[in-house]
Amino acid sequence: MGSIIPLKINFIMMKMRAMYLAVVTVIFLAGTGTSHAQKVWTLEECIQYALDHNITIKRQELAADVSSNNAFQAKMNLLPGIGAGFNHSFNFGRTVDPTTYDFVEQNYQSQSMGVGGNMTLFHGLQNINNMKRQQFNLMAKLAQVEKAKNDVTLNIATAYLQILFSQEILEVAKAQLEVTRLQVEKMRKLVEVGNKAMGDLLQIQAQEASDRLEVINASNNLKIAYLTLTQLLDLDSAEGFEIAKPVTAQIDEALVAPEVEEIYTVAEKEMPQIRMAEYMVKAAQKDLAIARGARFPDVTLQSQVYTYYSELQTQYYSYEQQLRNNMSKTIQFGINIPLFSRYATQRDISNAKIARNDAELQLREARLDLYKTIQQAHADAVAALEKYRSAAEAVKANEEAFKYTEQKFGVGLVSAVEYNEGKKNLTKARADLLQAKYEFIFKTKILAFYMGNKIELK
């Protein structure tokens, strides 16, 4: 009996181990599957996702839908209005018989029904001008939606390129840390055999600690860059988010060849903020026309078909006969001439002129802002190109200088301080080169965008 219990315990333990291994295997496979299935986002995918999900864009689209409804209603206002009515009355005591207009003292029931319509024939062309104004407002709202998409596109591209820049800065920091780490190991061996003093080792170890801090800072900057992009995409978390690194994100000097005026000429036709301002000027002009239309008389047309039935007449006529006999048809023309509106009409005209002038100034301001933006982007791109060329030469010179310093440091001809200074200069030169590179890429992407091209990385 005593030998059976250990066997049972062993059997139970074996089953538990098997279950544990099965669970671990499932988790591992699930994790592996998730890793393979993890999405790597390209710039184009980020932009498209943002355009499909951005709340600001969706709200602008809803505002455009409202303008579309208003434009449709303005067209419908040109049509006549038609209505129908029906009344059923219970009459008690002394009343008037609607069929004979005699006073009667009798309780009875009666009915009346009719169809009527009205139409404005002339209203100072206000309805027509309102229809055109609402159409211009709709076009302005649609342009505003497009502008919102452009703003989101530029913001996404900026954040995406910032990640690429931060990734390369991190790689530079890691490479520099690895170089320093190798020097620490080499210096430690030299100290152990007595060829170097302990102070030299401590100095190079201090540099290693400084390089490690640079790696940490670069890593944190990369995390912040990822967080910025995921927030622009309205994603819940940056955890597991990864972007695709373009195969070639290189400098193309030909991208700064177009002059500012050439870019602006195209952008003025392509950019929605200009079209939006132009439509707002046209809408303001129609507002002024509407205000002026209040000076003219209104001419209206009304028509009505009316009939009634009285219970008092049922002994003479049937229900259907009464409806036919009591049928009344009316067509009426009316004119309303404004003589004095207590200066309200003139006030509205004056305010409409002010609004039109303001809309024209907004259009001028939009054109100036666009020109300044293109001018600044072009100047920045040219400066970034010059900075890139200078930084490339600086990197080349610092690499040669550091290589020479590293060789001299290995044989004890320079101190650790001089070595660290040379290494620091090389790191800064490489960082400046990367900054100039991505600044140039981004500025030229903006210039291409204003020329009507999509922002993309290949």
For residue range 382-439, what is the model confidence (pLDDT) as tens digits? Answer: 888 898 889 889 999 998 988 888 888 777 787 777 877 888 888 888 888 888 888 8
Structure tokens at 301: 């047309």
Residue 12 lies in a domain: no
Q: Which domain holds residue 155?
A: 41-79+125-296+346-450
Which pLDDT score, from 0 to 100, does residue 247 have? 65
What CATH number does the domain containing 326 carry? 2.20.200
**Pick from 303, 322, 304: which is nearest to 312 by CA?**
322
Q: How many Å apart are CA 304 and CA 298, to the nearest integer?
A: 20
Domain finish residue from 311, 337, 363 = 337
How high is the mean pLDDT of the chain?
86
- Range with top average pLDDT, 29-33, 200-204, 376-380: 376-380
- Is 329 found in the same domain as 185? no
Residues 437 and 390 in one domain: yes
Query: Is 275 inside any structural domain?
Result: yes
Same-domain check for residues 113 and 185: no
pLDDT of 457 strictly over 80: no
User: 126-192 and 198-232 helices cross at what angle (nearest 10)?
Assistant: 160
State whether 327 and 262 are in the same domain: no
Task: Evaluate whether residue 26 is within a structural domain.
Answer: no
* CA–CA gap between residue 359 and residue 349 (Å, rounded): 15
Average pLDDT of span 162-190 = 87
Is the pLDDT at 15 greater than 60? The verdict is no
Rounded-to-integer distance, Cα 450 and Cα 458, Å: 19
Instruction: Examine the domain organization and report whether 55 and 169 are in the same domain.
Output: yes
Whether residue 196 sits in one domain with residue 129:
yes
Q: What pLDDT score does 458 carry?
A: 66
Domain-embedded: residue 195: yes
Structure tokens given for 331: 């067509």
Domain end position, chosen among 337, 359, 388: 337
For residue 27, name the pLDDT band (cuts at 50, 70, 90). very low
Q: Is the pLDDT at 53 greater than 90, yes or no?
A: yes
Kindly state the average pLDDT of the residues 190-206. Answer: 85
User: How much of the chain, in percent, has pLDDT values that exceed 90?
Assistant: 52
Residues in contact with 80: Cβ distance below 8 Å, sequence separation at least 6, in sequence order: 117, 118, 119, 301
Number of domains in the chain: 2
Confidence of residue 355 (pLDDT cuts 50, 70, 90): very high
Structure tokens at 136: 């211009």
Tell me: do 369 and 418 sit in the same domain.
yes
Query: 193 and 314 share a domain?
Result: no
**pTM of the complete model:** 0.80
Q: Is residue 259 classed as helix, strand or coil in its secondary structure? A: coil
Same domain, 115 and 144: no
Residue 215 forms part of a structural domain: yes
Same domain for 146 and 288, yes or no, is yes
Burial class (CB in 10 A: 0-12, 13-18, 19+), 247: exposed
Q: Note the pLDDT tens digit of each residue in 239-265.
A: 889 998 876 556 767 767 788 999 999
CATH of the domain at 194: 1.20.1600.10
Instruction: Assess if residue 15 is contained within a domain.
Output: no
For a pLDDT cut of 70, what percent of the chain falls above it? 90
